[in-house]
C-alpha cells in the first residue's frame, strides 16, 4: 500500500474517544442525503458508506444518473486499524490512482448541547472549525459501525450521522442496514491502482473536467525577419502578418455544454522590447462575405472603410452588411521588459520572470466552439519583440448530461478600433476628435437577454495625452444614452515587479506606477458589461462619444474601443 508520511491537503481530522462498543465488529451500510438549511433535501445527492472489519468505504451514489464521460469514479476509505485515509479515483480511460494519508488528531472539537436522536440513535453534537469554517457533527457509538460522510472527520468506534458546514449545508443519515454473515461485500479491491501523492491526485481529478487547447506556445511576436506563410487555409498552421506582430491560427475547439466556464490564459515575456505595448487576443468572424482575413492577406485597404466627419479613413473597424470586425476576447498590456531586462536594472526589487493574464471569457462561449480563427497581436517595432503563449481552458461545471437542448445565441461585434494591423498601416482610433463613432446594426427576430460587452483604453503617452487624462465614455443606442463611465486604473503600482525597464523618476515613482485610462503595464483591461433592455428586432444605431485630446506637435491621442452584443435566441 502506498503511504505518505506528511499530510499535504487534508483538512482537520478529529478523533474523540468513546466507550468501546460490544457491537464494534458489526458490518453495515449507511445512506446519507443532502442536508441544507435545516432539513434533508429529498431530490439532492446521495452518499453511501459501507463498514466491515474496521474499514469504512464511502462514495457518491451516481446510480440512475446520466453522467458526462469525463466524470471519474471516486471512492474513499478509512482504515481504522492502520489509521490511514485512502482516496481512489478511476478515470474514463481506465486509469486508476490512489493517495494515502495518516489520520490527524488535532484538538478543538468539543461536545455541545443535549443529544439528539437521528434514525432512533442517540447522537451527541460536536462543534469545531476547519479552514475558518464552522463544522458541526452529530455522532453515535450505538450502531456498532464506524465512518463518516466526510473523510476528514473520523471518530473512533462511532459513526457520524450528520455533518453540517457553516450551518447551511452537509449530509444526514437517512437509512441504516446491517449485513448478515456471509453477505458482506468486498470493501477494498485487490488492485487499488497507481499510488501517488495528494497534489498529483487532486490535479488529476480537476484536470478530468478541463479541456485545454494550446493555441500558441512561446510564439515570438516581433518586427522584421522573413515571413513565409502556408499557401491556403489549414487547421493548426501558424500564420504571421504585419511584420510578425500578428499571429493567427485556425483551431478546432471542443463542443461543450452550456454553462461551461472558458478562460483565456496568456503568458508573456519580453524578448528584447523594453516598452509597454498593447496586446489583443481576438476571434476573426468569417460568416459574412468579407472578413479580417482579407486585410491580413491582401492588405488593410481591402477592408471596409469607415470615414469620419473630417474625411479620415479607418480600415476594418466597424460592422457592415458584409463584414464583421474582430471579436476581442482579451486586451492585455505588456509590462516594461519583463524577463529580458531583469538583470539589466537593479533597484532592489525581485523581478518577475513572466506575466500571466488569465481572464474569464465565458460570455463569448458561442464563438469558442468548433473551428474558428484565433489571433494575438502585440504592437512593437523591435527585432526581438515578445514571447507569448495562449491557452484556452474549458472548465465543465456540470457532471450530468443535460436533457435540455443547447441554447442558441446572437453574437454581433459592432466595432473594434484597436489597430491590430498597426505595423501594416491600419489607422489609430482617432475618429473621436470631431465625431462620435457611429455604427448601424440589425437585431434579428427572437433575440432576448441582450448584454453589451465593451472594452476601452485611452492612449497618448505624454503628460497631456489621453493615456494620462481621465475621459468620460458615453454610449448611445438610437440617440438614447445607455452606458457612460470614465475608465481609469489607479492600481498600476501594484505591478511594479513586472516592469524592470520602466523609467524611474526623481521623486521615487516609476513610469509603470502612474494611473492610466483603463489599463496598466502588465495587466488585463477588463470588459464592461451592461444589459440592453427592450432592444427590439430591426435596425438600430450605436454611437460612442469620447472627448479626444488635442494634438501636441507630432503627439496624438487615440482610443481602442471594442463592442459586442450577445443575446439569446428564442427557439
Residues 6+ apart with CB under 8 A from 166: 133, 134
In angstroms, the CA 291 to CA 304 distance is 9
CA-based radius of gyration for the chain: 30
**DSSP category for residue 410:** E
Give the pairing type, strands 437-443 and 305-307: unpaired
3-state secondary structure 97-148: EEEEEECCCCCCCEECCCCEEECCEEEEEEEEEECCEEEEEEEECCCCCCEC
Beta strands in 207-353 (DSSP E): 210-221, 238-241, 246-253, 261-270, 278-284, 305-307, 313-315, 327-333
Of 354, 375, 219, residue with least CA distance to 297? 375
Which pLDDT value is given to residue 435? 82
Sign of the CA dihedral 421, 427, 431, 432?
positive
What is the architecture, at CATH level 2, of domain 28-206?
Clam (2.50)
Which pLDDT value is given to residue 433? 84
Which pLDDT value is given to residue 105? 53
State the CATH class of domain 209-399+407-569: mainly beta
Q: Which residues of the chain have pLDDT under 70?
A: 1-25, 104-107
pTM for this entry: 0.89
Residue with cell 445527492: 45
Q: Give domain limits for the chain.
A: 28-206, 209-399+407-569
Asked if the domains at 28-206 and 209-399+407-569 fall in one CATH topology, the answer is no
Give the pairing type, strands 261-270 and 355-360: antiparallel
Which pLDDT value is given to residue 319? 98
Sign of the CA dihedral 333, 334, 335, 336?
negative
Which pLDDT value is given to residue 107? 57
Which pLDDT value is given to residue 206? 92
Q: Interior CA angle at 370 toward 367 and 376, to 5°?
A: 60
Q: What is the pLDDT of residues 63-119, one digit of tens each?
A: 888 888 889 999 999 999 888 999 999 998 999 999 999 886 545 789 999 999 999
Q: Which three cell numbers stand for residue 111?
A: 461536545
| CB distance 473 to 546 below 8 Å | yes
Which pLDDT value is given to residue 130? 86
Which pLDDT value is given to residue 6? 25
Amino acid at each position: 500500500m502506498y503511504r505518505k508520511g506528511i499530510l499535504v491537503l487534508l483538512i482537520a481530522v478529529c478523533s474523540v474517544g468513546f466507550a468501546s462498543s460490544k457491537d464494534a465488529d458489526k458490518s453495515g451500510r449507511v445512506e446519507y442525503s443532502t442536508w441544507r438549511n435545516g432539513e434533508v433535501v429529498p431530490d439532492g445527492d446521495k452518499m453511501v458508506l459501507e463498514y466491515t472489519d474496521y474499514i469504512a468505504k464511502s462514495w457518491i451514489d451516481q446510480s440512475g444518473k446520466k453522467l458526462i464521460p469525463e466524470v471519474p469514479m471516486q471512492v474513499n476509505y478509512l482504515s481504522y486499524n492502520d489509521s490511514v485515509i485512502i482516496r481512489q479515483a478511476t478515470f474514463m480511460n481506465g486509469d486508476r490512482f490512489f493517495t494515502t494519508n495518516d489520520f490527524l488528531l488535532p484538538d478543538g472539537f468539543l461536545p455541545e448541547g443535549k443529544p439528539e436522536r437521528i434514525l432512533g440513535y442517540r447522537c451527541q453534537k460536536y462543534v469545531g472549525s476547519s479552514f475558518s469554517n464552522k463544522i458541526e457533527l452529530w455522532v453515535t457509538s450505538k450502531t456498532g459501525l464506524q465512518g463518516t460522510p466526510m473523510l476528514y472527520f473520523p471518530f473512533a468506534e462511532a459513526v457520524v450521522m450528520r455533518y453540517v458546514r457553516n450551518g447551511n449545508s452537509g449530509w444526514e443519515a437517512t437509512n441504516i442496514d446491517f449485513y448478515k454473515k456471509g453477505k458482506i461485500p468486498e470493501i477494498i479491491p485487490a488492485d487499488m491502482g497507481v499510488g501517488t501523492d495528494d497534489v498529483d491526485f487532486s490535479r488529476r481529478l480537476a484536470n478530468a473536467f478541463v479541456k485545454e487547447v494550446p493555441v500558441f506556445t512561446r510564439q515570438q511576436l516581433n518586427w522584421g525577419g522573413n515571413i513565409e506563410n502556408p499557401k491556403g487555409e489549414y487547421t493548426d498552421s501558424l500564420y504571421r502578418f504585419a511584420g510578425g506582430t500578428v499571429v493567427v491560427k485556425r483551431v478546432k475547439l471542443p463542443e461543450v455544454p452550456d454553462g461551461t466556464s472558458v478562460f483565456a490564459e496568456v503568458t508573456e515575456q519580453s524578448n528584447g522590447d523594453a516598452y509597454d505595448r498593447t496586446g489583443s487576443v481576438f476571434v476573426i468572424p468569417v460568416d459574412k462575405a468579407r472578413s479580417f482575413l482579407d486585410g491580413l492577406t491582401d492588405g488593410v485597404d481591402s477592408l471596409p472603410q469607415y470615414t469620419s466627419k473630417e474625411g479620415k479613413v479607418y480600415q476594418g473597424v466597424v460592422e457592415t452588411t458584409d463584414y464583421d470586425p474582430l471579436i476581442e476576447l482579451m486586451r492585455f498590456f505588456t509590462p516594461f521588459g519583463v524577463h529580458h531586462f531583469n538583470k539589466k536594472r537593479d533597484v532592489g526589487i525581485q523581478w518577475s520572470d513572466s506575466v500571466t493574464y488569465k481572464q474569464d471569457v465565458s460570455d463569448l462561449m458561442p464563438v469558442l466552439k468548433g473551428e474558428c480563427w484565433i489571433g494575438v497581436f502585440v504592437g512593437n517595432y523591435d527585432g526581438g519583440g515578445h514571447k507569448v503563449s495562449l491557452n484556452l481552458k474549458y472548465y465543465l461545471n456540470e457532471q450530468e448530461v443535460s436533457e435540455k437542448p443547447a441554447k442558441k445565441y446572437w453574437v454581433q461585434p459592432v466595432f473594434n478600433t484597436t489597430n491590430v494591423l498597426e505595423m501594416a498601416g491600419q489607422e489609430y482610433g482617432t475618429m473621436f476628435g470631431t465625431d462620435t463613432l457611429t455604427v448601424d446594426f440589425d437585431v434579428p427576430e427572437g433575440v432576448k437577454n441582450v448584454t453589451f460587452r465593451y472594452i476601452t483604453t485611452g492612449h497618448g503617452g505624454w503628460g497631456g495625452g489621453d493615456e494620462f487624462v481621465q475621459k468620460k465614455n458615453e454610449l448611445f443606442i438610437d440617440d438614447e444614452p445607455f452606458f457612460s463611465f470614465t475608465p481609469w486604473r489607479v492600481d498600476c503600482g501594484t505591478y511594479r515587479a513586472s516592469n524592470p525597464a520602466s523609467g524611474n523618476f526623481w521623486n521615487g515613482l516609476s513610469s509603470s506606477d502612474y494611473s492610466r485610462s483603463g489599463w496598466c503595464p502588465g495587466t488585463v483591461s477588463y470588459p464592461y458589461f451592461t444589459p440592453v433592455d427592450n432592444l427590439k428586432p430591426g435596425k438600430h444605431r450605436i454611437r460612442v462619444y469620447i472627448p479626444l485630446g488635442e494634438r501636441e506637435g507630432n503627439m496624438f491621442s487615440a482610443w481602442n474601443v471594442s463592442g459586442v452584443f450577445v443575446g439569446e435566441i428564442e427557439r
